[in-house]
Amino acid sequence: MSVRRDHQGDLLTLTLDRADKLNALDYPLIDALLAELDRAEADDSVHAVILTGAGGRAFSAGADIPSLAASIAGGPERALREIVRRGHGLTRRVEEFPKPVIVAVNGLAYGGGCEIVEAAPLAVAAEHARFAKPEITLGFPPPFGGSQRLPRHVGRKRALEMILTGDPIPAARAAEIGLVNAVVPAADLLGAARDLAARVVRHAPTAVTACLRAVTRGLNLPIDEALAVEAASFAATVPTEGVRAGLDRFLDRKGRTGTSVGQVVRL
Residues whose CB is less than 8 angstroms from the CB of residue 191 and which lie 6 or more positions away in sequence, other chains included: none
One domain for residues 96 and 80: yes
pLDDT value of residue 265:
43
DSSP state, residue 63: B
What does the alpha-carbon distance between residue 59 and residue 55 come to, in Å, rounded to a whole number? 8
One domain for residues 234 and 175: no
H or E segment at 175? helix 171-176
One domain for residues 39 and 134: yes
One domain for residues 156 and 95: yes
One domain for residues 211 and 182: no
pLDDT value of residue 266:
42
Question: How would DSSP label each residue in 116-127?
Answer: HHHHSSEEEEET
Please give the chain's pLDDT, 267 residues, in tens. 699 999 999 999 999 999 999 999 999 999 999 999 999 999 999 999 999 999 999 999 999 999 999 999 999 999 999 999 999 999 999 999 999 999 999 999 999 999 999 999 999 999 999 999 999 999 999 999 999 999 999 999 999 999 999 999 999 999 999 999 999 999 999 999 999 999 999 999 999 999 999 999 999 899 999 999 999 999 999 999 989 999 898 988 876 545 554 554 443
One domain for residues 140 and 20: yes
One domain for residues 142 and 223: no
- Name the residue type at position 107: G
Q: Where are the beta strands (DSSP E) in the chain?
A: 3-8, 11-16, 48-53, 58-60, 101-105, 108-110, 122-126, 130-132, 169-170, 182-184
What does the alpha-carbon distance between residue 160 and residue 69 come to, in Å, rounded to a whole number? 25
What does the alpha-carbon distance between residue 45 and residue 66 come to, in Å, rounded to a whole number? 38
Residue 179 inside a domain? The answer is yes
Residue 43 inside a domain? The answer is yes
One domain for residues 11 and 70: yes
DSSP state, residue 81: I
Structural domain for 41, as ranges:
3-202
**pTM of the entire predicted model:** 0.92
Residue 263 inside a domain? The answer is no
- Give me the CATH number covering residue 238: 1.10.12
pLDDT value of residue 1:
67
One domain for residues 151 and 240: no
One domain for residues 21 and 103: yes
**Coil, strand or helix: which one is 50?**
strand
Residue 194 inside a domain? The answer is yes
One domain for residues 124 and 136: yes
Q: Are 50 and 193 in contact (CB under 8 A)?
A: yes
List residues with catalytic annotation: 115, 135
pLDDT value of residue 267:
34
Number of domains in the chain: 2
